[in-house]
């Protein structure tokens, strides 16, 4: 800009001097100049017109572009409303998705959205204007066929199906031009309780996942590209990659009235709640006796991060056990929670391996959180401990050849290494797991085997979860795997399951200001004793067979045991036993008679049962074609009985009367999700590749021409 | 009134000068980059074209028709695109897929004239040339399409610039992508002759 001013100064002086010169000469000069300017301007007018045709659209509106580069219709708008009711340990969520079609055409909207891991969707309603259609559960293939039929016949239809345990897709056909259709979902999820704090997480967006493996469409130059509809193409390892990767866009790319959420939450914990907090949003909480109403301070929140709400029981009221009961279709369901009162003892010599994800999806705020977490982890190392740091993206690299003693020198090197970590490249997790779990030797310190713990810091943005879980299970040995979820929208399903298969626990970090508390808790747990070989005995005979989850993992300090059982009356005493690290037995009992009334327990039970069946299939325990179909049949039956969405059952709501005239066409629109707050785009974005030059040249010339014309006119008038 | 007119004239001149300054800068910078490129080839290390530059030449890009040659800089960050096209992905033209972005108003204006079958080549720091042939051109919307660098074949070269070519808006969402694949022969015959 400096240069510009210095250039323009002589021009200024010149124009002043001209007024002193002979008028006729001035006129001739001006006429000449304006002629030239007119000529030059002519060269620029054409592109201006071309441009005007291209973009008469509003600013910041997502539009679709055909392959000739013509902008087509503006994108479907999505807004969501969450109505959350927490009763005890179960949160019941009424999720309202409003799809608005701002275009002139009939639309089909496809929206991939995340729900909390372990969410069981049990209801669907579609509302279009006055009409309200209640959805029904169907087998996935049947739902798909019926939906396609309704779609082609011009009837309004909504279908919700599950892609991953925490990833769902809404298909909504025949949205009339300029109108909105509301899809309402009912789902419930378990509230997490540990170390005296309840936590509920409402995901609103997802971190784009990395799809390892070679693209199935081998030669991208050969056929038409699959990039439309999402950036990922199906790969050998993730054949449904295109189904789980919606466009991720920045907030500025969208209209301001899209991708907003409202949240109203009612916490009825069954015990006095002393404080409600959130690391992700500012909250307004109103106490109403024992129940608390919680809303975010902003009325609408952008759907660019998970909403995390935590509440603590009043001092001295922290529960150590709880029992809930429910009757559903003549069956009794009981849910029991127990927290073993473990006490920490002397330190055990450990080998800690930190594995940090430095893939592209971690860029931005996430890698800062990860570095901070790792630094904190290094700080907890004792003088007897050994450690190593492994980073992975497309490649895996470790700081030391093997684990080294945690002395000052090594720690200083590690600190330096961690400080310089940057995020770039793919997320090839398998070799990193290899390095962390497989390549090590068993060490003993003073007769005791060194405790081997792996801390895995990642956003879990991978598409091949099942293969990774299998690998963890196969390679684990005596190692314990702890996952730390990073970023504003980590893949919590991966975190939880990886930790479960790795016999550790999972932790989530939401922001750089929220690193301390959860990590101190995690590292505290890692130092404290673990309750293993846990057995839960329900008093009624045969009830153990119906208890879910079937196998309870190891329990760390402050962690509860939660089990749901079917067909059990609320009487008798529940016995829970386990083994402490020193080999001694630990037992506690719980009286089931004071069970409080709960709701939705049967869905928790069904969901756990389904998870168990699917996990067994994932791990290849059930072999052959036959068991594959048995699992499918069992899961389908459970889904239909309990009205739940499963990998094999979907919800479908279809209008009876056709709405779209046969002659108008239907266009399909993939509704994008917002890029999680603070993260840089994982995939390579197209850079800005234009300058102000043509605009400035055109403006300058236009301005000069106008001023020339005015100057001439003034002279004509006043002479 | 007169002073208002004066001010208007002056600001118009300023805008024009600013508008002309950008292509001028792009032209001058390439001359300086030629020197830096020669030096980095001779010394086999990164050479900054001027002391405060935040980028350095990584490759030379040649178009056969229309004949044009330019130095490619590292990265497309900050102001570096004003001086030369930037390599957003790749390894200095040595191996693997390469993605180069440039301004449509300056260096990559001539992308408009590249057609299917057009030849271009890329020189790395060791002086090795790789030849490419344009396989396709297309227009993408940068708001909902990203470059999946994992899906790019090893021998791909992607040139990216803004679209439309005669557009005025500098922050438009459309991009023009020229896809090229490496040809087996070392030198394309057109450039050789």
Q: For residue A253, which residues of chain B lie inside 8 Å, CB to CB?
A: 143-144, 173
pLDDT in the model for residue A210: 65
Q: For residue A683, which residues of chain B lie inside 8 Å, CB to CB?
A: 146-149
Separation in Å, CA of A395 to nearest CA in chain B: 13
Note the residue count of chain B.
193
pLDDT in the model for residue B146: 66
State whether A707 and B162 contact (CB < 8 Å): no
pLDDT in the model for residue A252: 63
Q: For residue B139, which residues of chain A lie inside 8 Å, CB to CB?
A: 65, 67-69
Q: For residue A684, which residues of chain B lie inside 8 Å, CB to CB?
A: 88-89, 99, 146-149
Q: Which of A250, A704, A711 sits opposite B13 (nearest CB)?
A: A704
Q: For residue A690, which residues of chain B lie inside 8 Å, CB to CB?
A: 103-105, 161-162, 167, 169-172
Separation in Å, CA of B23 to nearest CA in chain A: 7
Reference A267, options A499, A91, A116; nearest CA is A91
Nearest CA in chain B to A72: B141
Between A259 and A59, residue with greater pLDDT? A259
Buried b (16+ CB within 10 A) or exposed e, B10-26: bbbbbbbbbbbbbbebb
Return residues 50-79 of B near A (CB < 8 Å).
Answer: 76
Q: What is the mean pLDDT of residues A14-22?
A: 53
pLDDT in the model for residue A264: 93
pLDDT beyond 50 at A227: no
Is residue A640 classed as helix, strand or coil in its secondary structure?
helix
Nearest CA in chain A to B156: A221
State whether B13 and A702 contact (CB < 8 Å): no
Neighbours of B190 (CB within 10 A): 11
Report, in angstroms and rounded to the nearest whole number, the Rg of chain A calculated over CA atoms: 31
DSSP code at position A646: B
B143 close contact with A: CB closer than 8 A:
yes
In Å, what is the CA distance from B7 to each residue of A11, A14, A85, B4, B11?
11, 13, 64, 5, 6
A54 close contact with B: CB closer than 8 A:
yes
A408-419 helix and A365-379 helix, angle to the nearest 10 degrees: 170
Q: What is the dihedral of CA A333, A337, A338, A344, to 10 degrees?
A: 150
Between B89 and B188, residue with greater pLDDT? B89
Best of B25, B87, B89, B151 to substitute, by most chain A Cβ atoms within 10 angstroms, is: B151
Q: What is the mean pLDDT of residues A240-252?
A: 67
Separation in Å, CA of B42 to nearest CA in chain A: 30
Reference A167, options A387, A442, A424, A463; nearest CA is A463
pLDDT in the model for residue A389: 92
Neighbours of B5 (CB within 10 A): 16
Give the pLDDT band (50/70/90) at residue A12.
very low
pLDDT in the model for residue A68: 39
Q: Are A38 and B151 in contact (CB under 8 A)?
A: no
Q: What is the mean pLDDT of residues A511-528?
A: 79
Q: Are strands A673-674 and A248-249 parallel, antiparallel or unpaired?
A: parallel
- Unique residue bearing structure tokens 């708008």: A77
pLDDT tens column, B5-32: 888 889 999 999 988 888 888 888 888 8
Which residue spans of chain A are classified as CATH 2.60.40.1730? Answer: 71-316
Separation in Å, CA of A421 to nearest CA in chain B: 19
Q: Are A187 and A95 in contact (CB under 8 A)?
A: yes
Distance CA A452, CA B128 (A): 50
**Mean pLDDT taken over chain A:** 79
SS3 sequence of A460-509: CCECCHHHHHHHHHHHCCCCEEEEEECCCCCCHHHHHHHHHHCCCCEEEC
Q: Are B14 and A8 in contact (CB under 8 A)?
A: yes
pLDDT tens column, A359-392: 877 877 788 888 888 888 898 888 888 999 999 9
Q: For residue B164, which residues of chain A lie inside 8 Å, CB to CB?
A: 50-51, 54, 69
Using omega within 30 degrees of 0 as the cis cutoff, is the peptide bond preceding B66 cis?
yes
pLDDT beyond 50 at A219: no
Question: What backbone phi and psi angles, to 5 degrees, belong to A237?
Answer: -90, -25
Least confident of A441-450, A655-664, A699-708: A441-450
Q: Which of B76, B145, B169 sits opposite A687 (nearest CB)?
A: B76
Distance CA A613, CA A433 (A): 25
Is residue A225 classed as helix, strand or coil in its secondary structure?
coil
Least confident of A118-122, A450-454, B76-80: B76-80
pLDDT in the model for residue A253: 63
Q: Is A195 left (phi over 0), alpha (psi -120 to 50) or beta?
A: left
For the domain bounded by A71-316, which CATH number is listed?
A: 2.60.40.1730
Q: Are strands A666-671 and A106-114 parallel, antiparallel or unpaired?
A: parallel
State whether B19 and A692 contact (CB < 8 Å): yes
The reply to whether CATH 3.40.1350.10 applies to domain A350-527 is no
Total-model pTM? 0.66
Least confident of A69-78, A183-192, A437-446: A69-78
pLDDT in the model for residue A40: 63
pLDDT tens column, A448-474: 667 888 999 988 878 788 888 888 888
Return residues 206-265 of A near B (CB < 8 Å).
Answer: 211, 215, 219-221, 227-228, 231-233, 247, 249-250, 253
pLDDT beyond 60 at A565: yes
Is residue B99 classed as helix, strand or coil in its secondary structure?
strand
Q: What is the dihedral of CA A112, A118, A120, A125, to 10 degrees?
A: -30
Reported ipTM: the value is 0.82
Buried b (16+ CB within 10 A) or exposed e, A667-698: eebbbbbbbbbbbbbbbbbbbbbbbbbbbbbb
pLDDT beyond 60 at B150: no
Q: What is the mean pLDDT of residues A249-268?
A: 80
pLDDT tens column, A403-417: 899 898 999 999 999
Separation in Å, CA of A623 to nearest CA in chain B: 33
State whether A711 and B174 contact (CB < 8 Å): no
Give the pLDDT band (50/70/90) at residue A583.
confident
Separation in Å, CA of A393 to nearest CA in chain B: 12
Domain span at B53 = 2-192
**Which residues contact residue A272 at a Cβ distance below 8 angstroms, ignoring those fewer than 6 apart?**
A290, A313, A314, A317
DSSP code at position A675: P
Separation in Å, CA of A375 to nearest CA in chain B: 30
Return residues 79-118 of B near A (CB < 8 Å).
Answer: 81-82, 86, 88-89, 99, 101-106, 108
Least confident of A302-311, A338-347, A560-569, B120-129: A338-347
- CATH code: domain of residue B6: 2.40.260.10
As given in the structure block, the two tokens for residue A238 are 């993730």
State whether A704 and B12 contact (CB < 8 Å): yes
pLDDT in the model for residue B189: 40
Is residue B14 classed as helix, strand or coil in its secondary structure?
helix
- Unique residue bearing structure tokens 């980059």: B33
Which residue spans of chain A are classified as CATH 3.40.50.410? Answer: 350-527
Exposure of A10 in the CB half-sphere (CA atoms within 13 A): 4
Return residues 14-33 of A near B (CB < 8 Å).
Answer: 15-16
A688 close contact with B: CB closer than 8 A:
yes
State whether B151 and A699 contact (CB < 8 Å): no
State whether A697 and B19 contact (CB < 8 Å): yes
Q: Which of B6, B136, B164 sits opposite A221 (nearest CB)?
A: B136
Distance CA A279, CA A197 (A): 13
B160 close contact with A: CB closer than 8 A:
yes
Proportion of chain B above pLDDT 90, given as a percent: 3
Instruction: Count helices and strands (H / E) in chain A.
Output: 12, 40
pLDDT beyond 80 at A220: no
DSSP A293-353: EEEESSSSEESSS-EEEEEEEPTT---SEEEEEEEETTEEEEEEEE-------S---EEEE
pLDDT in the model for residue A65: 42
State whether B172 and A55 contact (CB < 8 Å): yes
Q: Are strands A585-591 and A573-579 parallel, antiparallel or unpaired?
A: antiparallel
pLDDT tens column, A34-89: 777 666 655 554 444 444 333 333 333 344 444 333 444 566 778 899 999 998 88
A672 close contact with B: CB closer than 8 A:
yes
Overall number of domains in chain B: 1
pLDDT beyond 70 at A144: yes
Least confident of A371-375, A688-692, B49-53, B142-146: B142-146
A3 close contact with B: CB closer than 8 A:
yes
């Amino acid at each position: 800009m400096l240069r510009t001013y210095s250039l323009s100064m002589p021009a200024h002086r010149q124009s002043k001097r001209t007024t002193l010169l002979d008028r006729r000469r001035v006129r001739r000069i001006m006429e000449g100049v304006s002629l030239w300017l007119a000529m030059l301007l002519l060269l620029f007018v054409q592109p201006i017109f071309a441009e005007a045709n291209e973009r008469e659209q509003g600013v910041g509106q997502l539009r679709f572009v055909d392959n000739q580069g013509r902008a087509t219709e503006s994108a479907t708008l999505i807004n969501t409303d969450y109505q959350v009711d927490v009763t005890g340990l179960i949160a019941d969520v009424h999720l309202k998705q409003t799809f608005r079609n701002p275009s002139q055409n009939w639309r089909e909207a496809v929206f991939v959205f995340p729900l909390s891991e372990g969410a069981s969707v049990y209801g669907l309603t579609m509302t279009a204007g006055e009409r309200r259609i209640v959805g029904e559960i169907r087998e996935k293939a049947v739902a798909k066929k019926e939906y396609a039929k309704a779609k082609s016949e011009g009837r309004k239809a909504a279908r919700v199906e599950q892609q991953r345990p925490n990833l769902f897709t809404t298909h909504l056909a025949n949205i009339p031009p300029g109108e909105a259709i509301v899809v309402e979902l009912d789902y419930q999820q378990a509230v997490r309780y540990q170390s005296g704090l309840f936590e509920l997480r409402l995901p609103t967006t997802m971190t784009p996942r990395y799809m390892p493996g070679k693209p199935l469409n081998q030669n991208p130059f050969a056929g038409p590209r699959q990039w439309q509809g999402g950036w990922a193409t199906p790969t050998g390892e993730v054949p449904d990659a295109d189904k789980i990767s919606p466009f991720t866009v920045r907030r500025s790319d969208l209209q301001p009235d899209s991708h907003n959420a409202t949240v109203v939450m009612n916490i009825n914990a069954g015990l006095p709640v002393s404080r409600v907090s959130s690391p992700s949003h500012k909250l307004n909480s109103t106490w109403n006796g024992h129940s608390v109403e919680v809303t975010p301070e902003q009325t609408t929140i952008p759907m660019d991060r998970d909403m995390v709400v935590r509440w603590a029981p009043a001092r001295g009221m922290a529960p150590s056990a709880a029992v809930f009961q429910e009757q559903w279709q003549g069956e009794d369901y009981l849910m029991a929670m127990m927290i073993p009162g473990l006490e920490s003892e002397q330190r055990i010599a450990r080998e800690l391996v930190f594995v940090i994800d430095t893939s592209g999806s971690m860029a931005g705020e996430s890698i800062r959180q990860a570095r901070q977490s790792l630094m904190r982890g290094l700080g907890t190392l004792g003088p007897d401990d050994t450690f190593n740091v492994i980073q992975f993206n497309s490649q895996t690299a470790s700081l030391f050849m093997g684990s080294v003693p945690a002395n000052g020198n090594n720690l200083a090197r590690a600190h330096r290494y961690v400080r310089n970590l940057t995020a770039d490249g793919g997320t090839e997790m398998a070799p990193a797991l290899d390095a962390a779990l497989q390549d090590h030797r068993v060490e003993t310190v003073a007769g005791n085997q060194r405790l081997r713990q792996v801390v895995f810091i990642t956003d879990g943005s991978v598409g091949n979860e099942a293969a990774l879980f299998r690998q963890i299970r196969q390679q684990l040995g005596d190692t314990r795997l702890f996952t730390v979820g990073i970023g504003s929208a980590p893949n919590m399903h991966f975190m939880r399951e990886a930790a479960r298969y790795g016999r550790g626990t999972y932790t989530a970090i939401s922001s750089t200001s929220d690193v301390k508390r959860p990590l101190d808790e995690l590292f505290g747990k890692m130092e404290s004793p673990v309750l293993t070989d846990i057995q839960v005995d329900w008093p009624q005979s045969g009830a153990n067979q119906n208890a879910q989850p079937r196998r309870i993992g190891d329990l760390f300090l402050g962690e509860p045991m939660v089990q749901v059982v079917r067909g059990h009356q609320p009487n008798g005493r529940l016995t829970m036993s386990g083994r402490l690290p020193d080999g001694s037995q630990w037992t506690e009992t719980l009286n089931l008679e004071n069970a409080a009334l709960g709701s939705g327990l049967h869905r928790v039970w069904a969901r756990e049962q389904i998870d168990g069946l699917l996990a067994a299939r994932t791990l290849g325990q059930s072999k052959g074609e036959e068991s594959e179909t048995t699992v499918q049949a069992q899961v389908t039956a459970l889904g239909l009985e309990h009205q739940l969405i499963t990998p094999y059952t979907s919800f479908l709501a279809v209008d009876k009367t056709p709405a779209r005239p046969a002659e108008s066409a239907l266009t399909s629109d993939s509704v994008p999700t917002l890029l999680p707050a603070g993260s840089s785009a994982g995939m390579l974005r197209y850079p800005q590749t234009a300058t102000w030059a043509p605009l400035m040249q055109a403006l300058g010339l236009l301005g000069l021409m106008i001023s020339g014309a005015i100057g001439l006119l003034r002279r004509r008038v006043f002479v | 009134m007169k002073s208002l007119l004066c001010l208007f004239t002056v600001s118009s001149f300023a805008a024009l000068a600013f508008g002309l300054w950008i292509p001028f800068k792009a032209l001058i910078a390439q001359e300086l980059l030629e020197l830096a490129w020669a030096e980095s080839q001779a010394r086999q290390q990164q050479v900054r074209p001027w002391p405060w530059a935040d980028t350095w030449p990584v490759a030379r890009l040649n178009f056969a028709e229309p004949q044009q040659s330019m130095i490619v800089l590292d990265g497309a960050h900050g102001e570096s695109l004003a001086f030369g096209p930037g390599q957003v992905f790749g390894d200095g033209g040595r191996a693997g897929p390469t993605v180069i972005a440039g301004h449509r108003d300056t260096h990559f204006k001539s992308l408009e004239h590249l057609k299917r079958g057009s030849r271009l080549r890329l020189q790395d720091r060791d002086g090795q040339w790789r030849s490419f042939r344009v396989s396709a051109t297309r227009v993408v919307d940068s708001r909902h399409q990203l470059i999946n660098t994992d899906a790019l074949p090893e021998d791909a070269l992607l040139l990216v610039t803004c679209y439309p070519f005669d557009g005025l808006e500098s922050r438009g969402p459309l991009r023009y992508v020229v896809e090229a694949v490496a040809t087996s022969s070392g030198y394309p015959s057109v450039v050789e002759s």
